[in-house]
Amino acid sequence: MKKNAASEGESPSRLIDARIKELDDWRGETLSRIRALIKQADPDVVEEWKWRGVPVWSHDGLICTGETYKSVVKLTFAKGASLDDPSGLFNSSLEGNTRRAIDLREDDDIDENAFMALIRAAVALNRSSAR
């Protein structure tokens, strides 16, 4: 999304809405679907807009980001290396000690139940770290 004076002061949720609309292709549809799953998994999630236009979802700490590129929607989990991923959703950034990511391409399907379980696990990890 292009940064302009009108976007300054906008709520993060509205900026994410605008990004989805601006994409106007499979990436916007994918980001919208992922966003809905995140909210379904954690109704108390906080939406943020960081790093010059990256949607971020947090709850007692960062859960994940939703970056969009030409051929992929990348969901980077801040503490992904510490999360169990029995369904094998993580398919990117596997070499690091902290983060893990899910790269979704145009025709990819995601196991919605496994994804929501991953969101809930990330929230639980944030809560345990916050104590």
Report yes or no on 4 lying in a domain.
no
Q: What is the mean pLDDT of residues 100-116?
A: 96
Q: What pLDDT score does 18 carry?
A: 92
Alpha carbons 128 and 106: distance in angstroms, whole number = 35
- pLDDT tens, 63-104? 999 999 999 999 999 999 999 999 999 999 888 889 999 999
The CATH code of the domain that includes 19 is 3.90.1150.200
Report yes or no on 113 lying in a domain.
yes
HEC secondary structure over 71-131: CCEEEEECCHHHCCCCCCCCCECCCCCCCEEEEECCCCCCCHHHHHHHHHHHHHHHHHHHC
- pLDDT tens, 5-55? 345 578 999 999 999 999 989 999 999 999 999 999 999 999 999 988 899
Q: What pLDDT score does 8 carry?
A: 59
Q: Into how many domains does the chain fold?
A: 1
| Dihedral pair phi/psi, residue 47, rounded to 5° | -90, 135
